[in-house]
Structure 1
Amino acid sequence: MIEWNDDQVALRDGLSRWNDALSSGHVEGDAAGTFHWDKWKLIRETGILGLPFGARWDGLDQDLLTTMYVLEGLGEGCRDGGLNFSVTTSLASVGVPLQKFGRPELRDRFLPRICSGESIGAHAITEADGGSDALKMRTRAERDGDHFVLHGAKTFVSNGPIADLIMVYARSHPEGGALGVTAFLLERDTPGLSVGGPIHKMGLRTSPLSEIFLDGCRVPAANVVGRVGGGFLVLDHVMKREILFSFIVNAGEMAHRLRRCVEYARTRIQFGKPIGANQQIANKIVDMKIRLETARKWLYDTAVELERGQDVTAGIAIAKLLTSQANLDSGLDAVQIFGGNGYMAEYGLEKDLRNAVAGTIYSGTNEIQYNRIASTLGL
């Protein structure tokens, strides 16, 4: 078990002063399905967007585990799941690959804007025809002197409608397979780039999602992140941290939900006794606790292995599978524990359940994670 030091605890506890404001109107915000810029201003004030980035770019220079620990606190304290998702998306989509693979001039120009929240990041990977099969990517990038010209379209771009910076993955070598994809950093006003309107969705409604369209979009070759043809190396680095960031937030959300259910089971009286005295209810809550602790352990243990440079292919997939399913199951259990109240929008539990469904799909569907684990077993 990790023992957090006083500085790490203080960093996480420092978020608590913003919890009420960040959570304010979360049910109404979900119903409206709109991104709240006033809450993003609060997020900027917290400093959380600079957690994993170097001090030279005005970041907090925290290691992976500390970053996750504070993000878990965000999940526990902020009831706006869509806002939480937009935070981790901005961190992972642009900031993480820039710091690792970006040219010095790119890092110096854009990382301070990601750290401060002045710019919001998004990444554009998925295409309508390809889905989880990124090797079927059709978006192409053709070299033209000191530029690349991009043609194609991407879908399911989280933060798309609000993003200032978009990491776009495009095929620069038609016959190159996994070695034929390149990562490009695009600013929103890049000629030839257009962003579709927000797409309505089941959950995470305050985190906007859209398509983007690339029609002869000219991108300076200096905006290549990593090397030409090395896009999948960039993507692999990003996806590991995206999973750890977003799903440790889910662990925080599960911890908050567990506390709500314990309190409700102690105080809700039915047939002359608290509902928690019924073994069926108590067992559901115990299962919620077990799932939470199992998910947390896998996430943090995998992060430790990643920091040590170990192969975490299976660990990341297992952590993603366990946490997404645990979040979904605990969300359903919470609705059932609260009964009719849980089904009502005002309690926020049905919203949490809808949000949890997304976790089984984004960052590689759970079915894909099974395939990855199977491959590590030689199957």
Structure 2
Amino acid sequence: MDFGIAAAQRDRSERILREVADHWKGSRASADAEVARAHFKAAGRMGLTGLCLPVEAGGGDLSALDTALCLEAFGRACPDTGFAFAVAAHLLACAVPVRDFASDEVRDRLLAGLASGELIAANAMTEDDAGSDTGNMSVTARPDGDGYVLDGEKSWASNAPVAGLVVTYAVTDPRAGFLGVSAFAVPTDLPGVGLGDPLPKMGLTGCPAGRVRFDNCRVPAEYLLGEEGQGAAVFQHSMAWERACLFGIYLGVMERQLAECVEHADKRRQFGQRIGEFQAVSHRLATMKQRLEAARWLLYRACWQLDQDPYEKGAAALSKIAVSEAAVANSLDAVQILGGRGYLHGSAEEQLRDAVPSTLFSGTTEIQRDVIARELGL
């Protein structure tokens, strides 16, 4: 076991911290489409939209662990957690399956734009009656000549309102259950693709999410990802990367949050002493630190495991639960420690609102516990 961070990894993270902090200084979360596109291009110039994509496409060709370390730095420096999430979803849930399952021609056509942030991608899996239940989808893809005709609606797709590409999943064989689902990379300028307005959300405001409609949308067969019927495998592969790496963002947020709370506890005085001298406050801070470190090492292990064996699921499930639940609990503690300041808009209350959905996306906490139970043989 090697718990050290190599010099190259540390230098890369420090560069990201500097560049992100400089670019987003004074910026606030925004769902405005033009703001989102401008930020994506800026993230592309920093290498964030192509961390684990091939060098020949303009990416960094980084491992899962190195990708997570970069996202951790991104989350720590960026005041807009929603936008950091948007970049990670674009990269891990969309660009990774294009990297690993698209034909050579489609890879050559799409990956450079994805790596640069010029082409924004949305992951469209969820439907009104099919969230984590991938065997119960209603969107269909009917084979038609040298392509497929897609019909139906996806209910929740991060980045959809600003996307130029949608990675989506549709039923090609209704009789085959989850083996009848296929994956597609669909350019949004194809006739029959409709992108909804941004959905109002509790948190992650900087990531516009919306509905995606397919109305007799003819998609050339070249945009099929993998083989027909391989959609469930493509989706699980993308989720392995997302569950392992994306939550590095929340490690960075918790690190920044803890530093703010420690500084406040050191400076704020009540009853003639620093509030950090009260055990009720100091123990709360110690617990926040313990949650953060435990979650961090589970995440690093999950990313290391992904680099060794991309089919192992238990480590990422353990990591996702630990990070997401720590993010919510630490944010609640931060509000309590900061008091009225923590309740003001843009402080710990925003971190709390951004933390709550981490227990829902990429598979709910309950789904992760199901994964762990199956790994135990139950």
Task: Sort the TM-score into its range (normalised by shorter chain).
Answer: over 0.9
Q: Which residue of 1 aligns with 2:214?
A: 214
Q: Which residue of 1 aligns with 2:332?
A: 332
Q: Which residue of 2 aligns with 1:255?
A: 255
Gaps of 5+ in 2: none
Q: Which residue of 1 aligns with 2:352?
A: 353
Q: Which residue of 1 aligns with 2:17?
A: 16
The alpha-carbon deviation at position 53 of structure 1 amounts to: 1.1
- Over the matched positions of the two proteins, sequence identity in percent amounts to 38
Partner Cα distance (2:61, 2:370) in 1: 35
Instruction: Extract structure 1 runs of 4+ deviating beyond 4 A.
Output: none
The alpha-carbon deviation at position 90 of structure 1 amounts to: 0.8
Q: Which moved more, 1:357-366 or 1:44-53?
A: 44-53
What code does the residue aligned with 1:34 have?
Answer: D
The alpha-carbon deviation at position 312 of structure 1 amounts to: 2.7
Within a 5 Å distance, the mapping from 1:86-235 to structure 2 comes to: 86-235=86-235
The alpha-carbon deviation at position 305 of structure 1 amounts to: 1.6
Partner Cα distance (1:131, 1:61) in 2: 31
Paired residue secondary structure (1:229): coil
Relative to the length of structure 1, the TM-score reads 0.96
Gaps of 5+ in 1: none
The alpha-carbon deviation at position 345 of structure 1 amounts to: 0.8
CA-atom RMSD in angstroms? 1.4
The alpha-carbon deviation at position 228 of structure 1 amounts to: 0.6
> How has the CA–CA distance of structure 1 residues 40 and 171 changed in structure 2, closer, same or farther, with 3 Å as cutoff?
same
> How has the CA–CA distance of structure 1 residues 285 and 247 changed in structure 2, closer, same or farther, with 3 Å as cutoff?
same
What code does the residue aligned with 1:364 have?
Answer: G
What code does the residue aligned with 2:342 have?
Answer: G
> How has the CA–CA distance of structure 1 residues 124 and 334 changed in structure 2, closer, same or farther, with 3 Å as cutoff?
same
1:296 aligns with 2:304: no
Deviations 1:185-209 (A, max 9, x none): 1011111110111110100011101
What code does the residue aligned with 1:10 have?
Answer: D
What code does the residue aligned with 2:349 have?
Answer: E
Q: Which moved more, 1:141-150 or 1:53-62?
A: 53-62
Alignment check: 8 A CA contact 1:43 1:49 kept? yes
What code does the residue aligned with 2:358 have?
Answer: G
Q: Which residue of 2 aligns with 1:306?
A: 306
Deviations 1:22-58 (A, max 9, x none): 43344xx34x643524333321221121211111111
Alignment check: 8 A CA contact 1:34 1:207 kept? no
What code does the residue aligned with 1:24 have?
Answer: K
Partner Cα distance (2:213, 2:338) in 1: 44
The alpha-carbon deviation at position 308 of structure 1 amounts to: 1.4
Paired residue secondary structure (2:152): strand
Partner Cα distance (2:140, 2:23) in 1: 40
> How has the CA–CA distance of structure 1 residues 57 and 41 changed in structure 2, closer, same or farther, with 3 Å as cutoff?
closer
What code does the residue aligned with 2:359 have?
Answer: T
Partner Cα distance (2:119, 2:304) in 1: 30
Paired residue secondary structure (1:194): strand
Partner Cα distance (2:31, 2:230) in 1: 36
Alignment check: 8 A CA contact 2:84 2:249 kept? yes
The alpha-carbon deviation at position 245 of structure 1 amounts to: 2.4
Paired residue secondary structure (1:227): coil
Deviations 1:216-271 (A, max 9, x none): 11000111011110001111110011112221111111111111111111111111
Partner Cα distance (2:3, 2:220) in 1: 44
Paired residue secondary structure (1:212): strand
The alpha-carbon deviation at position 126 of structure 1 amounts to: 0.6
Q: Which residue of 1 aligns with 2:66?
A: 66
Alignment check: 8 A CA contact 2:245 2:303 kept? no
Relative to the length of structure 2, the TM-score reads 0.96
